[in-house]
Amino acid sequence: MDSFETLQTQSLDTDILQVRLNRPEAANALNTRMGRDLLALFSGLNADPRQARCIILSGTGERAFCAGGDLKERNGMTDAQWQDQHLIFEQMIRAIIDCPIPVIAAVNGAAYGGGLEIALGCDFIYASRTARFALTEVTLGIMPGCGGTQNLPRAVGERRAKELIMSGTAFSADEALQWDLVNRVCEPDKLLGDALETARKIAGNGPVAVRQAKHAIHYGFDLSLANGMLLEIQAYNRLPPTQDRREGILAFNEKRRPVFKGD
C-alpha cells in the first residue's frame, strides 16, 4: 500500500484496511492534496479489489471526521481554479462510491459539508455519540457538489433532506440514527472496535459473493423490481463457478468454518 501525505493507512487483521483522514491541524478538512490522495487510493483498490475485503474510513483525532472543504486553501481561488479542484473532488467521491470493496465510515467527530458527503459515499456509517453532521454549503453561497443532494435524500427521505440542506442545520448522532442516516451510534472509545467487529464479519464471508451482493444492491436500488431482479441474477451467476462457492458448501457439510480465498 502506497503512503499518502494526507491519509494514514493500516492493515487491521489480514484483510481489513483502515484509512484515516489525516489533517488534524485543520480538522481533517478536505484540501486538494487529500482529494488527490483519496482518488489515488480508491482508484487502486477499485483496480485490484483483492487488496482488502473491507475498509474502515475514519479521521485522526477525536474532534473531527472531516470538517468539509478547506476554505483557507480556497480563499482567493479563481473560478477556474475552484472548478479544477472540484473536478478532483467529483472523481474522488465517484471512486469511493464505486469501490467494490465494502466501506464502513466510522465517523469519530464532526462531519460537515464534504466530510458528510464522504461518509454518505460509504456503504454504511457508524458514528461516535459525539459526532455532529451538517451540509452547510448554502450558508457559503454554494451547494453540496459531491453527492450530498443525491445520497442524503436516499438515506433520510426527500423532505428531511430538503430541510437539512436548504437550512444548513447541524444535527446530532442520535438524530442521524433516528433518521436512518447512520446504522449505529457508539461510545467514542468503542467506535473503532464496533466497526472492526462488523468488518471482521464481512471479511470472513466469501469476498466475491460480498462484492457481487454490494453491486446488486447499489446498482439495483433505483431500478424497477423486474430490472433489479435481472441485475441480481447476473450478479448471482458469477458465483456458482467459483472455488469459494465450492468451499462454502463443502465446509457446511463438513461442519467447519470455510476458508475463502477470493476465487
Catalytic machinery residues: 117, 137
Distance CA 164, CA 136 (A): 9
| Grid coordinates belonging to 147 | 453527492
Residue corresponding to grid cell 446488486: 216
Distance CA 217, CA 61 (A): 33
Residue corresponding to grid cell 472509545: 189
DSSP 201-253: HHHTS-HHHHHHHHHHHHHHTTS-HHHHHHHHHHHHTTSTTSHHHHHHHHHHH
Nearest to 195 by CA among 123, 126, 243, 129: 126
| Grid coordinates belonging to 69 | 472543504
What count of residues does the chain have? Answer: 263
Looking at the chain, list the stretches that DSSP marks H as alpha helix, in order from N- to C-terminal side: 32-47, 71-74, 79-97, 114-120, 148-156, 158-167, 173-178, 191-203, 207-220, 225-236, 243-253
Distance CA 100, CA 69 (A): 26
